[in-house]
Structure 1
């Protein structure tokens, strides 16, 4: 297995099996390689994703080429996703670059506008052979003062799914970069209304028991970013004490791999089984 141009089969399979894929935010070669090494060591599929601030430093084409090249060196399915795409042209640019999946985050728009944009983007993403994730409510910008997501209205989530969203991102208590417990009762209500694949953001801080419960409620993708950024930052700081910069560089990949392993094991209960698409 290698790069998966259309992530929908991965998500549909995870939904049918009661599993979820970790979607790791990466912004460098070291982070991408470390996550893929972790996935390959367990023989499990994985999603790498880029945040708008990260692709502003390069381009969707650069990240797509990087991930495709790395994916050819591992024996597991690898998908590439745009996280928190808020600009229409950016979403289209990622689809043109060959992303497997894109997210539309309608922060600042009323729900009627989000629903209208969902219908439009679903047609475009599906024509491009890619999946579309849409957030039912605003999540806020990671690290900003407005990083207090609204809780998802189950009816809104159902309407987005009916409008063509392959994945619906739910705000049920998790928060970017902070430890939180999930409102599993609300998640169950959303699952009952949507009857389709769901997504959780802020995965670095979700309690392991809540993650396991979320799998039974149709969550197929869990975003993980802060845990990796912290591992990289600490390793670079520690590497100042190493004899050479080459040792520090290698240590970063190892730190990312070790940070990714717990999420892969938690979200794929049967880690010993071969994964195929």
Structure 2
């Protein structure tokens, strides 16, 4: 079965295997198919994820049913994740819809309140058979003024793990949508307190060498969004003179596939396929 209603086994297999799962932000059929075509060709598991703004265009139920149907057409494990969930009701709605993984982003909340919400949502996620990701510090989001991520305190990261978070998102120098280098010494300190699985945001701009090095420090999920959106925009502009809209959709799907594919190799230094 390629559809994974619970993403936790995928995360732990990646941690044990020394590789990371690319988590692609998608908001359309074409984007989802492009990413899955890349994963299927590489023979490697994949996470697709949606921003809260994306599921304002279609409900969590619609996205869950779409991705589940597409997963039936590939031979690799596929899980669906909510990225940057800040509204508790939306997080719960995604779990009810069948998301196998959700993120709670406590941006702007006192840390004690983030801890309380982590414990609350961990109980709900685990009862639903799903994973919970939480950030130890405020995370900026693409196109926002607070794009630069704060630095994660290893002790706060440990507190989130103790509160029930399955994955801890680490801010160690990356920025959404911008070229960046990460602080590997800080990532090592976080791993020493938390272990894994750990998550890096802003994967589109992180230096490839840093991404590969991060695999040695418990990183098992890397978010990739901005690179895909740029590919969509470029392909869309280039389709203005094409005869039909279907030709344009095919162009977008191919552009997304071509951008998604390199991350599957970069984040998995091992030869062969990984289906566990």
In structure 2, how many angstroms separate the alpha carbons of the residues matched to 1:140 and 1:111?
A: 16
* SS of residue in 2 equivalent to 1:133: strand
> In the alignment, which residue of structure 1 is the partner of 2:231?
231
> In the alignment, which residue of structure 2 is the partner of 1:195?
195
In structure 2, how many angstroms separate the alpha carbons of the residues matched to 1:157 and 1:246?
A: 46
* SS of residue in 2 equivalent to 1:203: coil
Whether 1:220 and 2:220 are equivalent positions in the alignment is yes
* SS of residue in 2 equivalent to 1:205: coil
In structure 2, how many angstroms separate the alpha carbons of the residues matched to 1:199 and 1:78?
A: 17
Contact 2:43 2:275 in 1 (8 A): no
Whether 1:139 and 2:139 are equivalent positions in the alignment is yes
TM superposition outliers: structure 1 runs of 4+ over 4 Å: none
1:269 deviates by 1.6
Count of aligned positions: 276
In structure 1, how many angstroms separate the alpha carbons of the residues matched to 2:61 and 2:30?
A: 18
Q: TM-score, normalised by structure 2?
A: 0.98
In structure 2, how many angstroms separate the alpha carbons of the residues matched to 1:158 and 1:271?
A: 33
Q: TM-score, normalised by structure 1?
A: 0.98
Which 5+ residue runs of structure 2 have no aligned equivalent? none
1:271 deviates by 4.5
> In the alignment, which residue of structure 1 is the partner of 2:64?
64
1:245 deviates by 2.8
1:270 deviates by 2.1
**Root mean square deviation, CA, Å:** 0.9
In structure 1, how many angstroms separate the alpha carbons of the residues matched to 2:141 and 2:270?
A: 34
1:241 deviates by 3.0
Deviation per CA, 1:131-154, whole angstroms, max 9, x where unpaired? 000001001232111112110000
> In the alignment, which residue of structure 1 is the partner of 2:155?
155
* SS of residue in 1 equivalent to 2:75: coil
1:242 deviates by 2.8
Could you tell which deviates more after superposition, 68-77 or 137-146? 137-146
How does 1:42-191 map onto structure 2 within 5 Å? 42-191=42-191
Deviation per CA, 1:136-189, whole angstroms, max 9, x where unpaired? 100123211111211000000011011110000000000111110001111111
